Amino acid sequence: MKAAPFEYARAADVDEACAWLAADDGARLIAGGQTLVPMMAMRLARPTRLIDINRIAALSYIRQETHQDQDGIAIGATTRQCAVERDALAAAKVPLLARAIPNIGHAATRARGTIGGSLANADPAAEISLIAVTLDATLSYRAGGKTTDIPARGFHVGAMVTSLPEGACLTAVRFPVWQGRIGTGFHEVNARSSDFAFVSAAAQIELGADNKCKRIVIGVGAATDHPIRLESAERQLAGGALDPKAVRAAVEAALTDIEALDDLHATAAYRRRVAAVLAARAVADAFADAQGKKVQGNANAH
């Protein structure tokens, strides 16, 4: 099929893009187009106007910033995923993001796909959204001539649904930088490598001098309609030695009452069971990583 007719406009800056969005309820932003263009080709999306933000230089960057006395790595919304994948600063300061990004689609997808596009699309299986929620990232958007910040956990509210206001343009995401002995783990399961995940899990920990867990975050994606944090498990495991049995019990308890997705790809029971396995593996990898041990990475096992 071919896309339905639409108008095309190239925005000179973010405020111009926002003005066009506000003036036309059917207008959509386009940068990488890795989700929008296929949807248009299948006529699942029928925008009246595409607003191209690719050439807005102010939206493409990776840099270290200090915000409210917290160090972070800020990434512009139109920054290509492959740029983050290759960036030494991002790898050093946000290692969990660096571990997850190679799992996004194929290399060709990451060469065109953008960080902001993935976040704004809010696919439940999106790796970038999972990492943003897991690390308590902050997203910034522009609307009405002003910039507003919103926590990632308040941004993702459902499958393909965000709290981004009408007429707003996502401009950046800022990931906090952890200090100390940091370790990360990431796992996902899919039908084939580079396909959408059925379930994914991410973990990041900070170890103390006694090898006990000072701080831990655990996130699960694709199992529910938006990425979630296993906060009850985090509270239970913080301060402990991360014994594998204790970790498994904590994540299983945290997943007991989740509303898991149930579809043609996987049942809710399967997703809940696999989420516990992958979360435990992610924590184990993060623990080993923080101790300087070699970690194999995503096993992608069924």
Measured CA to CA in angstroms, residue 43 lies from 1, 5, 109, 113, 234 at distances of 8, 10, 21, 20, 43
For every one of its 302 residues, what pLDDT tens digit does the chain have, with 9 covering 90 and above? 788 899 999 999 999 999 999 999 999 999 988 888 888 999 989 999 999 999 999 999 999 998 777 899 999 999 999 999 999 999 999 999 999 999 999 999 999 999 999 999 999 999 999 999 999 999 999 999 999 999 999 999 999 999 999 899 999 999 999 999 999 999 999 988 778 899 999 999 999 999 999 999 999 999 999 999 999 999 999 999 999 999 999 999 999 999 999 998 899 999 999 999 999 999 999 999 999 988 876 645 44
To the nearest 10 degrees (0 to 180), the angle between helices 268-290 and 244-255 is 140
CA distance 217 to 203: 6
CA distance 83 to 94: 14
Written in H, E and C, the secondary structure of 212-270 is CEEEEEEEEECCCCCCEECHHHHHHHCCCCCCHHHHHHHHHHHHCCCCCCCCCCCCHHH
Pair type for strands 161-162 and 213-221: unpaired
> So what's the pLDDT on residue 301?
43
Domains defined for the chain, CATH in brackets? 7-52 (3.30.43.10), 57-176 (3.30.465.10), 181-290 (3.30.390.50)
> So what's the pLDDT on residue 302?
41
Strands (E), 94-198: 138-143, 146-151, 156-158, 161-162, 169-176, 181-189
CA distance 27 to 18: 10
Residues 147, 140: contact at Cβ < 8 Å? yes
> So what's the pLDDT on residue 195?
83
216: its two tokens: 């831990």
> So what's the pLDDT on residue 297?
63
CA distance 121 to 118: 5
CA distance 184 to 101: 13
160: alpha, beta or left, given left = phi > 0 and alpha = psi -120 to 50?
Answer: left
CA distance 208 to 114: 36
CA distance 288 to 204: 11
